[in-house]
Chains A and B, each alone.
Chain A
């Protein structure tokens, strides 16, 4: 039970987490209002951050593969068990809208002063435990349905991954342009982007 990775891996993980948590906090996505604001289609910070990270990440990883800096075995593709991916995603979305965080931003929110993220964390650990108990049932009934293996869109389509990256860049370009376009005159939304420090909710 008390097994540990090597010290160097633990330090590497810790440093990665510190940088990741710092960035999430600086980007504002450790705030409930930002996450729920995304689902209510008012604050698009989450979408902008994720799409940018995906594109920059993709260019680097597929670039390193292309020039031989990385081997294909260095990829970490998760199995396309499509029913489980989709249904799990639907369940995840319900939980994320209620909690107002995903696992990463929820844990980071603890460091950003969100007290209600603590019961959220306990809930996450509980939910993981529940899943572990029903895993055999899910294994037999869900994970075997529509199992396509560890595939990418490039594998499925049989074309270069760069076509998909190009597509992503173009989609992101259009989405970002529409989101950043100055608001039309009949929609005078104020530009008070910086959150108000006094916004602390109803602490008793």
Chain B
């Protein structure tokens, strides 16, 4: 992947016209975004705690008493300090909007994906199969994130930049495990289906 970085931001319009931005530009801007959230909002970028809040909402609707007695919900959702709909919850909703703007408005992209190419080359075009795997993958992912205390944003970026021992432990563990799992799932042949 060629990386033509924009010198001194002189070619901002060219940057916007491009289908995909350089990972160095995007990484730099995410780093700057973390300054703003730490300094201006007293918050670290993160997402996976919101999934606990979301499951808390479901639990609260189905079994309100259980929401109050469960130790984990009590720990993670305790207003006024930890409101159900908090800063991070709003951030997660914003993520969808921001990606939508980038994809449809700026990128004029008509991308729609039900079954990714890498997946269908290995497991076939069945949408039910892919959707089931996505559900299971999502469940495993979040279980791991909560056990570790964060995800790729909370641990990976926010924790990584704070030089936290916990976060770098998580980062190496998840990366090694992801590589092993991906090769176990798709093998060397899978690499040929990854579009660059």
Contacts and interface: CB of A to CB of B under 8 A. Distances in A.
A90 B148 CA distance: 9
A96 B143 contact: no
A133 to B, nearest CB: 7
B141 A204 contact: no
Given A84-B148, A108-B98, A136-B71, A5 B86 contact: yes
B18 to A, nearest CB: 8
A104 B98 contact: no
Nearest to B138: A123
Contacts of B91: 13-14, 16-17, 20
A53 B157 contact: yes
B166 A77 contact: yes
Contact of B196 (A3, A42, A56, A76): A42
A90 B99 contact: no
17 contacts: A1-B56, A11-B90, A23-B33, A39-B179, A42-B196, A77-B162, A80-B169, A81-B149, A84-B148, A89-B155, A95-B140, A103-B47, A112-B103, A119-B131, A124-B139, A127-B141, A193-B196
Q: Indicate the size class of the contact surface on chain B.
A: 35 or more
Interface residues of A, number: 145
Name the 4 nearest CB pairs between A and B, nearest first: A17-B94, A52-B27, A123-B138, A56-B31
B70 A114 contact: no
A51 B135 contact: no
Contacts of B181: 39, 93-94, 97-98
Contact of B94 (A15, A64, A77, A133): A15
Contacts of B26: 23-24, 26-27, 29, 49, 52-53
Which secondary structure dominates chain B's binding surface? Answer: helix
Contacts of A170: none
A13 B89 contact: yes
A131 B59 contact: no
Interface string A87-118: 11111111111111011111111111111110
Given A86-B169, A201-B115, A4 B139 contact: no
B165 interface: yes
A27 to B, nearest CB: 3
A105 B148 CA distance: 18
Contact of A138 (B39, B147, B154): B147
B157 to A, nearest CB: 5
Contacts of B145: 88, 92, 103
Contact of A116 (B40, B47, B116): B116
A193 B118 CA distance: 17
A194 B22 CA distance: 11
A187 interface: no
B11 to A, nearest CB: 15
Contacts, number: 611
A137 B85 CA distance: 27
Contacts of B84: 1-4
Contact of A43 (B21, B99, B172, B194): B194
B174 A89 contact: yes
Contacts of A169: none
A125 B23 contact: no
Interface string A33-70: 10011111111110011111111111111001000011
A23 B73 contact: no
Interface in B108-123: 109-120
A17 B92 contact: yes
A120 B138 contact: yes
B148 A122 contact: no
A188 interface: no
Contacts of B191: 40-42
